[in-house]
Amino acid sequence: MQFMIIAYDGKDQDALARRMSVRPRHLENITSVKERGRVICAGGITDSTGSPVGSFLIMEFDTREMLDEYLASEPYVTGNVWKDIKIETCNVVIMNDEIVGK
């Protein structure tokens, strides 16, 4: 099952500094999750100046509970970076110019 996660950072004055301090742990973790075949694509959400304000991920897990387990240990969650997380199921149809879904 594929999930689209849109996660917005906090809006307080320390939000960017918090994100940057947690980022190395987040990148290490997401690399590990990717190696297990869970990450389809991921990246940052930016404001009009290019400053990061959140993240987007498309991930694959067998169940929503497995996704929730991942999120419970995600450094941007445990590090109090992501404050507003939206999750939808999705179906990736085209990836890298190739039709991969239905």
pTM for the whole structure: 0.90
| Model confidence pLDDT, tens digit, residues 38-71 | 999 999 999 999 999 999 999 999 999 999 999 9
Residues 45 and 6: beta-carbon distance below 8 Å: yes
* Confidence at residue 38, expressed as pLDDT on a 0 to 100 scale: 96
The mean pLDDT value for 4-8 works out to 98
Question: Is residue 100 left, alpha or beta, with left meaning phi > 0 and alpha meaning psi from -120 to 50?
Answer: alpha
For the segment 9-33, the average pLDDT, to the nearest whole number, is: 97
Q: Apex CA 3: angle with CA 85 and CA 29, to 5°?
A: 70
Q: Residue 10: its pLDDT value, please?
A: 97
Confidence of residue 99 (pLDDT cuts 50, 70, 90): low
Domains delineated in the chain:
2-99 (3.30.70.1060)
Helices (H), ranges, 3-100: 15-35, 64-73, 75-78
